[in-house]
């Protein structure tokens, strides 16, 4: 067997897109708001049709045209859909992306984030890095030292508001 018939080829699937915690939360909230919006449109569409059939005809100064059967089912709920369309702000995703890009630039411009040995400045290659910095769940260590050149030095951390280490980063040398 070769190609897609192998065990590896058959177990391969479409990779799931990676989202930051904020993006996942925004997507969930947008979905919930959309479902709420549909419920509101249905309720207001029914209420609008009931009002049109009972009260609107009594208004002698408002001439309603003779509409077809599609009017009550389509036009009145569509009007409420247009009125409720501002519930989901489109600009929030654009604003968040602009802010993420600005945060990445702040990381690039930070004068205190320089490797003193090589004089290399920090460079954010991902705009979501500032969101993910506070979302660390696992710490992976390099026991063999092949990746870190045996320079795993504890510098400083903050756990539950208590700082361990010192400003200079030579706490455990």
Please give the positions annotated as active site.
142
131: CB partners within 8 A, 6+ apart: 20, 21, 22, 100
CA dihedral 22, 25, 31, 34 (to 10 degrees): -70
Question: Residue 114 pairs with which residues in a beta bridge?
Answer: 121
Distance CA 107, CA 99 (A): 12
CB atoms under 10 Å from CB of 100, counted, come to 20
In this structure, are strands 120-121 and 114-115 parallel, antiparallel, or unpaired? antiparallel
List Cα–Cα distances, 80 to 44, 59, 75, 84, in angstroms. 7, 21, 9, 6
């Amino acid at each position: 067997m070769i190609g897609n018939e192998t065990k590896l080829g058959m177990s391969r699937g479409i990779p799931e897109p990676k989202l930051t915690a904020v993006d996942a939360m925004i997507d969930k909230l947008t979905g919930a708001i959309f479902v709420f919006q549909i419920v509101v449109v249905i309720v207001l569409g029914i209420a609008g049709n009931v009002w049109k059939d009972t009260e609107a005809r009594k208004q002698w100064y408002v001439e309603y045209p003779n509409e077809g059967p599609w009017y009550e089912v389509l036009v009145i709920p569509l009007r409420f859909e247009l009125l409720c369309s501002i519930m989901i702000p489109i600009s929030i995703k654009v604003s968040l992306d602009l802010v993420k890009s600005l945060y990445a630039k702040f990381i690039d411009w930070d004068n205190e984030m320089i490797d003193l040995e090589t004089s290399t400045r920090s460079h954010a290659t991902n705009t979501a890095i500032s969101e993910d910095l506070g979302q660390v769940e696992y710490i992976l260590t390099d026991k063999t030292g092949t990746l870190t050149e045996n320079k795993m030095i504890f510098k400083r951390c903050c756990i539950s508001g208590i700082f361990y280490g010192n400003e200079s980063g030579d706490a455990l040398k």
